Amino acid sequence: MTSKLKITIIGGGVGGYPAAIKAARIGAAVTLVEKDLLGGTCLNRGCIPTKSLLHAGEVVQTMQEAETFGVHCKGYIIDFAAMMARKQAVVNQLRNGVQGLLKKKKVNIIRGSARLLEPGKVKIAETGEVIQSDKVLIATGSKPRQFDFKGSAGLDLLNSDQALELAKLPKSVVIIGGGVIGLEFAQIFNRLGVEVTVLELLEDIAAGIDTDIASVLRRIMTGRGINIITGADIQRLSKKKGLITVHYYAAGAAQIAVGEKIIMAVGRVPVTEGLGAEKIGLDMKKGALVVSDQMETNLPGVYAAGDVTGKTMLAHAAAAESECAVDNMFGRKKQINFRTIPGCIYTSPEVGCVGLTEAAARERFDVEVGRFPLTACGKALVVNETEGFVKIVADKKHGEIIGVHIVGPRATDLIAEAVLGMSMEMTVEELANAVHPHPTLSESLMEAAMSIHGGAIHIP
């Protein structure tokens, strides 16, 4: 069966191309349909370009703090055009790499828009070609959410895609939305000397992360000059002399924020337009495709993965879901453990989280919490990044770790250890007894576990 199985994948982003590679490796005949750029949002307009610019800003920050390390710089010049060119070069190299991998696996790539006629039958809108296959995977991703505020008609409001294509660095920006996307853009522009205001409707930034983590992140970002306003209810927009004014209510009073550019960072929504989903009877909920634990839709043989399912809208989740779908296409029983999918924010300091927050855990378990501040970590002091901490939430009865939350340098790398541990149902005792190299930031994880099991060494 494996040598004859025909699979059509709609979408060439991280919810599509890993599935194509895996299915082709197993032995399927794979057709991948992509109407835009291979790599999807993550590679072209999300994860990769934003992290490239964030790293450029990190270099700027290092220059600013160089004297702390005994290095005296005579000055530096921010070349925004060069930063953007490097960002694009990185994106192009990775996209070409994806294309090369697909070609090597003999995946048939069709450039066009796909529409489902029935399970197993897909039509390409541009050419009229009909592709018949045994299985179909829908991985059409998501797009920036749009909100129309009063007075916004005719104004040049940027979404996250457009913000990554700016040719000139603005003097000031107002970012509407204090989630992951908004905060990362705030960090990018702030490091490059732009005046930044973030307006968030909710009472805290980065909704969904542990409140202690959010509190530290907000304090540090505010301390670096980013104006963060929460509980901001936007009323209307207006423009005068090249500047856009956002009128909003916060703290019981009418207020304004003024910027040369306005960036809309109010989340993302699944892309299902043109798929013919409703016509062929695909179940949907709140604009997303409904799937089983095996990533299969209500129509046998039709699967979906990534942002289009409305589950965990993260690139690594999309890749895992796509590979899970392929395994189930071949009869290999597999499910995604969403409990151990990490979330990351690439600001300074970084944030890495997996599992339950302390508040959520207390609703379900009798918990114990371990903390270790980075002020007590030797490596953090060496690199001069001691603001932050590691927090471990554990089930008191069994000692199993059910949540890990990190705010600090390289948190997005450190969280991988917690993901591995939680995937193996690691206990606090096991993590505390695992010898970590010294001096490293990873010791903070060990010490946080030790603070629950016997007591940390480097804090009272």
Q: Are 379 and 440 in contact (CB under 8 A)?
A: yes
Mean pLDDT of 56-82: 93
pLDDT in tens, 134-158: 999 999 999 999 888 999 988 989 9
Active site annotation includes 438:
yes
pLDDT at 12 over 80: yes
% of the chain beyond a pLDDT of 70: 99
User: Do both 283 and 259 map to the same domain?
Assistant: no
User: Do both 63 and 201 map to the same domain?
Assistant: no
Q: Are 294 and 311 in contact (CB under 8 A)?
A: no
pLDDT at 1 over 60: no
Give the domain extent around 400: 340-452
- Which pLDDT belongs to residue 133? 96
pLDDT in tens, 366-385: 999 999 999 999 999 999 99
- Which pLDDT belongs to residue 3? 52
Residue 393 lies in a domain: yes
266, 300, 324 — which closes off a domain? 266
Residue 166 lies in a domain: yes
What are the strands, taking DSSP E only, across 167-273?
Answer: 172-176, 195-200, 227-230, 233-240, 243-250, 253-259, 261-264, 268-270
Mean pLDDT of 20-24: 97
User: Do both 11 and 136 map to the same domain?
Assistant: yes
What is the rounded CA–CA span in Å between residue 413 and residue 401?
Answer: 18
pLDDT in tens, 254-274: 999 999 999 999 999 999 999
pLDDT at 2 over 70: no
User: Do both 389 and 283 map to the same domain?
Assistant: no
pLDDT in tens, 399-434: 999 999 999 999 999 999 999 999 999 999 999 999
Residue 149 lies in a domain: no
User: Do both 138 and 277 map to the same domain?
Assistant: yes
Q: Specify the CATH number for the domain of residue 442.
A: 3.30.390.30
336, 368, 393 — which closes off a domain? 336
- Which pLDDT belongs to residue 147? 86
Model confidence, pTM = 0.95
User: Do both 112 and 138 map to the same domain?
Assistant: yes
User: Do both 164 and 231 map to the same domain?
Assistant: yes
User: Do both 274 and 127 map to the same domain?
Assistant: yes
Q: Specify the CATH number for the domain of residue 91.
A: 3.50.50.60
How many domains does the chain divide into? 3
Mean pLDDT of 97-110: 97
Q: 72, 247, 398, 438: which is the annotated catalytic residue? A: 438
Residue 275 lies in a domain: yes
Residue 150 lies in a domain: no
Q: Are 24 and 106 in contact (CB under 8 A)?
A: yes
User: Do both 274 and 136 map to the same domain?
Assistant: yes
Residue 11 lies in a domain: yes
Over the chain, what is the mean pLDDT? 96
Which alpha helices (H) appear in 27-147, and where do they start and end? Answer: 40-45, 47-64, 80-104
Residue 126 lies in a domain: yes
User: Do both 325 and 256 map to the same domain?
Assistant: no
User: Do both 132 and 31 map to the same domain?
Assistant: yes
What is the rounded CA–CA span in Å between residue 68 and residue 371?
Answer: 28
Closest C-alpha to 361, from 397, 410, 318, 309: 397
**Cα–Cα distances in angstroms (integers) from residue 60 to residues 65, 76, 179, 191, 197, in the given order:** 9, 8, 24, 7, 20
- Which pLDDT belongs to residue 435? 97
pLDDT band at 110 (very low <50, low <70, confident <90, very high): very high
User: Do both 373 and 319 map to the same domain?
Assistant: no
pLDDT in tens, 427-457: 999 999 999 999 999 999 999 999 999 999 9
Residue 415 lies in a domain: yes
**Cα–Cα distances in angstroms (integers) from residue 93 to residues 57, 149, 260, in the given order:** 21, 38, 32
pLDDT in tens, 290-323: 999 999 999 999 999 999 999 999 999 999 999 9
Mean pLDDT of 86-105: 97
250, 266, 282 — which closes off a domain? 266
Q: Are 224 and 118 in contact (CB under 8 A)?
A: no
pLDDT in tens, 186-233: 999 999 999 999 999 999 999 999 999 999 999 999 999 999 999 999
